[in-house]
């Protein structure tokens, strides 16, 4: 759904800065918290992690880092399942996450903690709160109930973008984007520096967030955020070559424009 002009159509090439990083925009970081999709157990939820990270960063930019920080809940998308939310712990489609957020809105993680498993879609699937059990001796697991009328963050316009120039303009104008990548064994073993890998036919199998770009020793690169914990890569982040040999990271990206609720 696209109703407004795209940044690629109204930002001139000469107006795009040589570098931009959501962690340092005019000496402020708008990066929300880092994630590990595989804690407390393995879960193939990258499609929900990359999208909610990018949207949460965009919310921080829109709100100029106002308190409280908003971190959208990927578990809600998993709870919603493939048809409603876009996927599960068995994989999914990032576009489905934006469609869900557009139609239904997403709460933050104080409503729905990440559990890294496929849960049923019921009254507790969006926002819940739990109290002790019926007797003082029964605290765990307690009794959980639906939290009525939680704050929800909707997405307005949303779509896809590809190619370095268009990606830069989208990020510069509105914040980080989600992108697919071929997470090879070499990428999984990444420990720092500007990564590049030649692969004849890369196949996208993982979703990350692209949150900026810069150059080092004459090599242009993207700044990316992963969802494999801060002990992976450069504190959970990575840099990857721009333009070529980057495992198709510039071919299948997505974005959404968050709508800030009244009172925020």
C-alpha 84: how far from chain center: 18
206 is catalytic: yes
111 is catalytic: no
Q: Cα separation of 48 and 74, whole Å?
A: 5
Q: Cα separation of 127 and 150, whole Å?
A: 7
Judge contact between 133 and 142, C-beta under 8 A: yes
SS3 content of the chain, % helix, strand, coil (to 5): 25, 25, 50
- Active-site annotation holder among 43, 158, 206, 246: 206
Cβ atoms within 10 Å, residue 14:
5
Q: Give residues with Cβ within 8 angstroms of 106, minimum separation 6.
A: 52, 55, 72, 73, 76, 77, 100, 152, 153, 154
- Active-site annotation holder among 46, 89, 127, 253: 46
Q: Which two tokens stand for residue 62?
A: 């829109």
46 is catalytic: yes
- Quote the crossing angle between the two packed helices 94-103 and 46-62, to the nearest 10°: 50
- Active-site annotation holder among 36, 71, 79, 226: 226
Ordered alpha helix ranges (H), the chain: 7-10, 46-62, 74-85, 94-103, 164-174, 185-188
Place of tokens 């765990």: 140
| Residue 100, CA atoms < 13 Å, CB-side half-sphere | 30
Cβ atoms within 10 Å, residue 155:
25
Q: Which two tokens stand for residue 120?
A: 């049923």
Pairing of strands 253-259, 154-161: antiparallel
Q: Which two tokens stand for residue 86?
A: 């876009």
Which residues are catalytic, by number? 46, 206, 226
């Amino acid at each position: 759904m696209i109703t407004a002009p795209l940044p690629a159509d109204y930002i001139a090439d000469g107006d795009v800065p040589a570098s931009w990083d959501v962690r340092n925009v005019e000496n402020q970081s708008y990066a929300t918290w880092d994630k590990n999709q595989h804690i407390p157990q393995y879960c193939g939820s990258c499609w929900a992690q990359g999208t909610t990270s990018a949207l949460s960063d965009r919310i921080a930019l829109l709100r100029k880092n106002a308190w409280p920080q908003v971190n959208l809940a990927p578990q809600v998308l998993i709870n919603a399942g493939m048809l409603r939310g876009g996927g599960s712990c068995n994989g999914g489609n990032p576009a489905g996450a934006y469609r869900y957020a557009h139609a239904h809105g997403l709460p933050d993680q104080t409503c729905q903690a990440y559990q890294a498993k496929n849960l049923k879609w019921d009254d507790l699937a969006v926002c819940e709160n739990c109290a002790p059990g019926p007797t003082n001796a029964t605290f765990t697991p307690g009794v959980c109930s639906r939290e009525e009328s939680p704050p929800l963050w909707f997405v307005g316009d949303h779509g896809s973008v590809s190619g370095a120039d268009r990606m830069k303009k989208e990020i510069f104008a509105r914040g980080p984007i989600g992108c697919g990548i071929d997470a090879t064994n070499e990428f999984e073993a990444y420990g720092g520096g500007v990564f590049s890998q030649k692969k004849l036919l890369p196949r996208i199998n993982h979703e990350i967030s692209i949150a900026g770009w810069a150059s080092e020793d004459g090599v242009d690169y993207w700044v990316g955020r992963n969802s494999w914990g801060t002990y992976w890569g450069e504190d959970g982040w990575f840099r990857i070559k721009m333009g070529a040999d980057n495992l198709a990271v510039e071919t299948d990206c997505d974005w959404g424009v968050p709508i800030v609720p009244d009172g925020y």
